[in-house]
Amino acid sequence: MKRPLLPLFWREIESLFFSPLAYIVLFIFLVLNGFSFILALETAGGVVSDTIAVFLGDGPLFWLSLMVVPPLITMRLVAEERRSGLLEITLTAPVRDGEVVLAKFFGALVFQGFLWAPTLIYIAIIRNYGALPDPGQVVTSYLGIVCVTGLLTAIGLLYSTLTSNQIVAAVASMTTNLIVLIVPALADARQYTALTKVLDPLSFFGHFSTSFNRGVLDSGILAFYVAATAGVLVLCTRSLEIRKWR
């Protein structure tokens, strides 16, 4: 028996690319990133590695887009289908709940890959001005983006499975993203040493400043993202099953 993961995945991609929302998100995202690049050029003062570090990790607009884009993509994935009844049609086919979750997750992730792909142009622009960026730094920075986007997409998907209201899903996951991003940074800034010790390994900013932006791969950090994302996806599957008990 052929597994239905692939058709589910393609259906997700199709519906993401057919929805007008996707293009609005793409537009907002590209505007944000344009400014983010200008900001990076100005703050780095001509140092190539710093420019890339700010553009792909230290800049506020970078984090704003990382925080806002995944919830906008994921909010409708399950919530909308639950409301319209499409979920019922999908789940009464011989399909596992986990396969539906995986297809939606990878669909959203690949779609966001299309959002981020145009930012490579900025790297090319830097190159064309004769300043050669360190390929290692560029690769690990993008890997960091994949890791964080993956985790935040899974979180967004979780909220989408919990409600049939897209707005609730989007606001709840943005709030969660904000807390996840801000709390370790706040603890750090206020020098609550005990709290910082606990939260530091979870700090997304920390992951970028110590690893991804430096062109250094830390297997511990990678393992954290893989495990956390997988864990949230398992919760998504359980949450889809919960529909049955309400």
Residues that bind other proteins (CB under 8 A): 1-2, 4, 6-8, 10-11, 14-15, 18-19, 81, 84-86, 88-96, 244-246
d(CA 200, CA 193): 10
Closest approach, Cβ 65 to other proteins, in A, equals 26
Between 45 and 94, CB nearer to other proteins: 94
Residues comprising the chain, all counted: 246
- Cβ–Cβ contacts within 10 Å for residue 146, how many? 15
d(CA 38, CA 214): 21
Between 32 and 91, CB nearer to other proteins: 91
Handedness of CA 30, 179, 113, 215 (dihedral sign): positive
Closest approach, Cβ 108 to other proteins, in A, equals 16
* Helix 219-242 vs helix 135-162: crossing angle, to nearest 10: 20
Closest approach, Cβ 95 to other proteins, in A, equals 6
Based on C-alpha coordinates, what's the Rg of the chain?
19
Closest approach, Cβ 242 to other proteins, in A, equals 11
- Cβ–Cβ contacts within 10 Å for residue 228, how many? 17
d(CA 169, CA 175): 10
Closest approach, Cβ 246 to other proteins, in A, equals 8
Between 68 and 75, CB nearer to other proteins: 75
Closest approach, Cβ 96 to other proteins, in A, equals 7
Q: Tell which phi-psi region holds residue 167, choosing left (phi > 0), alpha (psi between -120 and 50) or beta.
A: alpha
d(CA 26, CA 231): 28
Between 85 and 130, CB nearer to other proteins: 85
Between 100 and 157, CB nearer to other proteins: 100
Between 57 and 107, CB nearer to other proteins: 107
